[in-house]
Amino acid sequence: MAIKNNKSNKSTEQPRSLTKQYSFFEDVYEVVRQIPKGRVTSYGAISNYLGTKVSARMVGWAMNAAGSAKPKVPAHRVVNSKGILSAKALFPSMEGLLAKEKIKVENDKIIDFKNLFWDPAKELSID
């Protein structure tokens, strides 16, 4: 998947600027799709993985458009750095979806978050 290549695409990669379809949102979506079932990650972790070119806020904002993404993005597996379902208000099905993944949630907070946490920067490696 060359996700990491996006970060260091100098000229070898196809300029996404030409095709608006592949905006940085796609980068975020791809990472989110890599999240294993039963695991979660944070907006900050994703922004950290993609690089300084994006901020955590952008990730969250990208998720806002994730609902319109074609291959469905498991946005429910993305929470804030505290393991709180900050998106639940805008994504009501979130908790239910997490439940199907055997992820325990209490008071909008993921139980044993640090254990279920999936850091793309570590799991996906840097090659």
The residues in 6-45 that bind DNA, with binding defined as CB under 7 A, are 23-25, 42-44
Helix, strand, coil percentages in the chain from 3-state DSSP, rounded to 5: 45, 10, 45
**For DNA, which residue of 81, 117, 118, 121 counts as binding (CB under 7 A)?**
81
**For DNA, which residue of 4, 29, 40, 60 counts as binding (CB under 7 A)?**
60
**For DNA, which residue of 54, 103, 105, 116 counts as binding (CB under 7 A)?**
54
CB-side exposure of 47: number of CA atoms within 13 Å? 18
Least Cβ distance, residue 104 to DNA (angstroms): 19
Helices (H) and strands (E) in the chain, counts: 7, 4
